[in-house]
Chain A
Amino acid sequence: MFKEFKTTVGKKLIMALTGHLLIIFVIAHVIGNSTIYFGGLNSYAQHLHDLAPLVWTFRSVMLITLLIHLLLGIQLTLENRASKPDTYAVKKSLRATTASRNMIWTGALTGGFLLYHLLHFTFQVTNPDISARANLDSLGRPDVMVMVVSSFQNIIISLVYIVSMAVVALHLVHGIQSSFQSLGLNNNKTLGIIQKAGLIVSIILFAGYALIPLSILVGMVKG
C-alpha cells in the first residue's frame, strides 16, 4: 500500500487529500473570524482555549498535513523541472494559467505568510505591546479584539494580510479544480463546472478574509 503512494499518481492523490484538509481548515477559519463583526471574537478565542486538548490535537494534525503537502509539493516540482530541462525558444501556453504554472511560488509565499501569521497572532511576538496576552478585556479574557484591530489599523500589516490572501486565492484557483481531477472526480461534463466553482470559491474566500483588515482600515470595525 505505501509503495503505491510513492508513485507519481499516488503522490498527487496525497497532494489533493492534504489540499482538501487545508481548504476545510481555511473555510472553518474564515467562519470563526467573522465573529469579529458581532463583537464575539474574544469569546470565540476563549472557547477555543477552553478546548485546549482538542485544539492541540487539531493543530498537530494540521501541521503534519501542511508539512506533507509542502514537502511533496517541492518534490513534485523538482521532478517536473528535471523532466523538462530545455525550454523552447518560442512557447505558447494554450490552457496552462498563471495560477497553474506558479503553484510552487504561491505555495511558498503561503508558507511564509503562515509563519508570520502564527508569530503575529498565535505566539504574539511581532507586536508585543498590543498582544492579547498583555491586555485583558473587562471580563478578564485575553483581548484578541484589541490585538486584531490595532494590528490592522497599521496599513503595512493590513496590506501584508490582503496580498497574502490574494496569493492563497491564486493557489486555490488552480488547486481546487486540480484536486478533483487528481482524485478522479471529473469527466467531460464536470470539468468546466469544477473549474468555475473553484474560481468562485477562491474569490469568496479571498473576499471573506480580506474584508476583515479592510473594514478595520477604513474604520468600519473599531476596537
Chain B
Amino acid sequence: MNLTLFVWRQKGPEDPGRLKQLEARDISPDMSFLEMLDLVNEDLIKQGRDPIVFDHDCREGICGTCSQVINGVPHGPEERTTVCQLHMRNFKDGDTIYIEPWKAKAFPVIKDLIVDRNAFEHIIQSGGYISAHTGGVPDANAILIAKHDADTAMDAAECIGCGACVAACPNGSAMLFAAAKVTQFAVLPQGAVEAKKRVNSMISSMKKEGFGNCSNHYECQAVCPKGIKVSFIAKLNREFIASLKT
C-alpha cells in the first residue's frame, strides 16, 4: 500500500518545528509501524535527505522507548499496543497518517520525534526505591505477601515508563506514571518504610519537572499500552491522605 505521511520535523530543541509531507511507498500490511518508517528513511537517505529521527529499542513492546503520536493518539489506533507492536494492517492504501512527538513542557523535543524523558527518571529518583539490609541475601519466601497484593503490585509494575499518559493528558500530567510507581511499592511490605515520604517526594518532583495537575479526564488510561488503570491514581490519593496523619 501507499501512504501519505505528515511527520513532525524539528532540527533541535530551539527549532520551532513543523509537519512535513512524505510519501511511503510499497508498504506491506505485515510490517510494523517502525519498519514502515525504516523504509521511508532508507528512501530519504538514498535521496541525500535527513532521515526521520525516532526513538526505539526493544521493538517488542517492553522497553517503553518508542513514542509517537499517530493520528492524534499516543502509540496509535490499536489499544494496549506500543508503536513498535503496531502493524500496518491497521491502515489501508491511500491513508494519510499524522506522526507527532509527545508534547508536554516536561518532555522537550530533542529532534524530530525524540523527546527528553529524563523528567521521569527524576521522579523515580525522588522516591522510587526501598531500603534494604545489606549483608546476606534474604530467603526469597521469607516475607509473606497476600496474593491480592502481589497481583496489584504486578499490575502497577507493568508500567514501562513510555510517557504516553503525559502525551495524552490535556494537562501534561504524570499522575498515572507516578500512581503506578507509588502503588507498586505501597501495597508491598518492603515499601512500607518510606511510604509517607515517597508519595510526597514523587508528587513534588512531578511538579518541579513541569508536569501538570490531574483533572481526572482519564485520557491516560485510554492510551496506556500496558493497561495501567486510573484506580492507581485513586490509590496515590489515598496514600497522600494517609501521609497527612502523623
Interface set of A (CB-CB < 8 Å, partner B): 1, 4, 7-13, 76, 79-80, 82-97, 100-101, 103, 174, 177-178, 181-188, 191
Contact = CB atoms under 8 A, between A and B. Distances in A.
Interface in B39-86: 69, 71-73
Given A83-B171, A89-B98, A94-B219, A184 B213 contact: no
Contacts of A4: 200, 240, 243-244
Given A7-B240, A8-B203, A181-B230, 5 more contacts: A9-B240, A80-B213, A80-B215, A88-B100, A88-B103
B237 A7 contact: no
Interface residues of B, number: 50
Interface of B: 6, 19, 69, 71-73, 98, 100, 103-106, 168-173, 199-200, 203-204, 206-207, 210-219, 221-223, 229-231, 233-238, 240-241, 243-244
A108 B235 CA distance: 30
If over half of B's interface residues share one DSSP class (helix, strand or loop), that class is named, otherwise mixed; here it is mixed
Give the interface centre of B204, B207, B212 by most chain A CB atoms within 10 Å. B212
Nearest to B171: A80
A186 B72 contact: no
A177 B216 contact: yes
B200 A7 contact: yes
A9 B223 contact: no
Contacts of A79: 212-213
10 closest residue pairs by CB, A with B: A83-B212, A184-B238, A80-B171, A94-B222, A184-B237, A83-B172, A92-B72, A96-B217, A186-B234, A84-B172
Contacts of B230: 181, 186, 191
